[in-house]
Structure 1
């Protein structure tokens, strides 16, 4: 596996868009979290995509459909990858993922999510995509993360869940992981979840999305 070089001379780091396997992406996120725990960085933000396609399972998720082990995309079996964060399963094909690593802010869990969602709502609003908070009560036992949208999630104007997020906390450090469903393959989505996929989002180029969200993260978090 490729090592990440982190030094105290870069208190907040922004990594370039990465395309890699799910195992490598989760390894990278955990390395960033450990670097924060060691005091080597103030925080980090990055965006990434999964290749090959995969289904990620929440850290505490113990049950999922047996047929997922046999699902294929472009002739290749979907990987099943364990996330370090919680929540339900997420299909990683046609999505854009983000990671934020930082210290826990005053105000606790709810305030942390409020700041996170404000950054995402304002960022996507500037890109021409209005989003709002989900309204379903938070509950346990959801196999499929995008089957419902809680107030910690973000939905489009048509009510489709667009962004799902989850956390891992270790001491005073927190790892945020999220998936933005840009254009999931409808056939694959139905194969995995036996339900229709949300329509693809009309967005600027992926490069513009990543550049804008990366550039604005400092407006909502302490990146100095």
Structure 2
């Protein structure tokens, strides 16, 4: 249990949602943390499978025809880094939301704190995971899983393999209204063809498989068991109560998704549509 467990937290085992809404609810959770003194941890998935672009990523790196043909949604995150293909089955995602004045001001210390339940969840699944012990150079910069591996926030497995360990999770943080939001992608399974297919690149699926591993490859457990194990680790880390999004939060998230995370102007150019004045 972390030092944050004496605050008020909720654990949301979220329903699958489209990418724009999944990004929007994080900003709504930031508002709830400040206005209602309620912090959030959650585990979630993407429906349909979605490519989330890093904040500054060039839209020209996306194979838009492939995404349309394969039914892959596209949104843009508030966090930097490369794009991530979040497969409906192969990806498990999580979010942690807490007021900035309650967590370490140093970015690396905050990563270490927020990744505690992620590493614990993987350990309980039988995965020998830890922050990368050594840096690895970039293979394809527009893809999160093929960028350079950074010991500060990239998780690899098996950790005992040292330089031969492969990436299993990428994590990122941003601040919204004096709240720290961390989200991350954990590979439950591998879909190499689709991971590289969403990008305009000649990188082959075999290159992806050489760099990335998964929970299923490391331990073979069912996805439902992996999701529940991660949710339990998150909940115990901050002593969170089981909860769901409130109706007003979901309504606000859908509105924000329409104006921002689902809007072509944001996805392609980082432009935000203003709310109607009336």
TM-score range, shorter chain: 0.7 to 0.9
Change (3 A) 1:72 1:60: closer
Distance in 2, Cα, partners of 1:34 & 1:217: 21
Distance in 2, Cα, partners of 1:180 & 1:221: 20
Deviation at 1:79, TM superposition (A): 2.1
Instruction: Tell me which of 39, 47, 53 is aligned to 1:51.
Output: 47
1:208 equivalent in alignment to 2:225:
yes
Residue pairs, 1:58-207, within 5 angstroms: 58-66=54-62, 68-72=63-67, 75-93=69-87, 94-104=90-100, 105-134=103-132, 135-136=134-135, 142-147=141-146, 148-151=148-151, 152-157=153-158, 159-193=165-199, 194-196=203-205, 197-198=208-209, 200-202=214-216, 203-207=220-224
> TM-score w.r.t. structure 2 length?
0.67
RMSD: 2.7
Would the aligned equivalents of 1:136 and 1:149 in 2 still touch at CA under 8 Å? yes
- The answer to which of 102-111 and 16-25 deviates more is 102-111
Distance in 2, Cα, partners of 1:190 & 1:166: 21
Deviation at 1:153, TM superposition (A): 0.8
Deviation at 1:221, TM superposition (A): 4.0
Distance in 2, Cα, partners of 1:166 & 1:183: 20
Q: Secondary structure of 1:19's partner?
A: coil
Residue pairs, 1:18-57, within 5 angstroms: 18-38=15-35, 40-57=36-53
Deviation at 1:168, TM superposition (A): 1.2
The runs of 5 or more residues in structure 2 that have no matched partner are: 1-6, 159-163, 242-278
Q: Select the structure with the greater relative contact order (CA < 8 A; seq sep ≥ 6).
A: 2
- The answer to which of 161-170 and 98-107 deviates more is 98-107
Runs of 4+ more than 6 Å apart:
none
Distance in 1, Cα, partners of 2:126 & 2:223: 14
- The answer to which of 93-102 and 203-212 deviates more is 203-212
> TM-score w.r.t. structure 1 length?
0.81
Number of residues of Structure 1 aligned to a counterpart in Structure 2? 211
Q: Which one has a larger percent strand, Structure 1 or Structure 2?
A: 1
Q: Secondary structure of 1:50's partner?
A: coil
Distance in 2, Cα, partners of 1:120 & 1:80: 25
Q: Secondary structure of 1:71's partner?
A: helix
